[in-house]
Structure 1
């Protein structure tokens, strides 16, 4: 995927990693960047086009697909988190459903809406922002890990289905990123700008997956351990 001259749509682009993606795209020579946000008035980055886009709202997605007909790069960055345990009798089910609605079904709905757009514009690329927590679950990330594991499987399946139309599908895995979403977490965090830069480098190289930080590389390497890291054995 050649970023120079590309036309991109980034979801959740008003802050955090989404904002970093929008900035990186402009810096890399993207011709146009649509910045999706639930409230487009919160998009303040000069040079982008704000788009009303809640990935859990079918009407928003349909309107965005009708507006952004020139897109050849879609970055599914929008995501949410939640800390309720899966077995919490009060909030466990509602938290899991809420996270799946955004982190899984939101990506799927965007792919359904924009696959024809990408095909019409030569194939292009679809980027799904996943996580090292796609592969492991911590005490405080149960529902989030479920949603990201499902999104990883979805990404692998979308890659198979979009291959025939020449669409590059890139899965991005990273550990904690220094954004508002995990401001309460006391752990090493990567810079959003670094993650965005490594993602664009992976796109340019034609990659299908990028382990964008040391945490994601360590976690995936842990698959080969005995017992495997994802088993969570103390």
Structure 2
């Protein structure tokens, strides 16, 4: 099946699985996922499954990217922080919807490859940063939304601090990889928030904070 047909089929699957936001569906359609996967997995780019990257990392399945994006409730004026660039695919999707995306990756090879792919696609509002995502990226904050593409047992304090009042933070939380829940935290005050649970997920773990 041609990639264009596979892309259309992916959108149908996303609709069937509960993705209702038209802007999110359009962004998922417009970003060529095949450009972000390893060459050996190009024919599987639009399968609804995670695919391996180098350094024991993965590109999340399309449903998870779409769900995280949908529950972030992005507006065209929003500034977004993404923790864990990986391939750069989710950052490119976010860049279709938000004014600006700052994406942080701590694995150098992944950061270089993602930055090059994003540059080739002309995503000038997506900015790559190399560093420890647990520390966020305070120089460009605060952010209207933060997406964390790795799981942990708590929200890093630095990320909550960099979230604007009214902002949304989406993160997989759980004590183990097999017991994670996708959580949205909406900041309603300096030390106040409301939390919503969007069900079970499975992400690679957040790496320990560096000095």
Q: TM-score, normalised by structure 2?
A: 0.45
Higher normalized strand content (fraction of residues): 2
Structure having the higher Rg: 1
Q: TM-score, normalised by structure 1?
A: 0.41
Higher normalized helix content (fraction of residues): 1
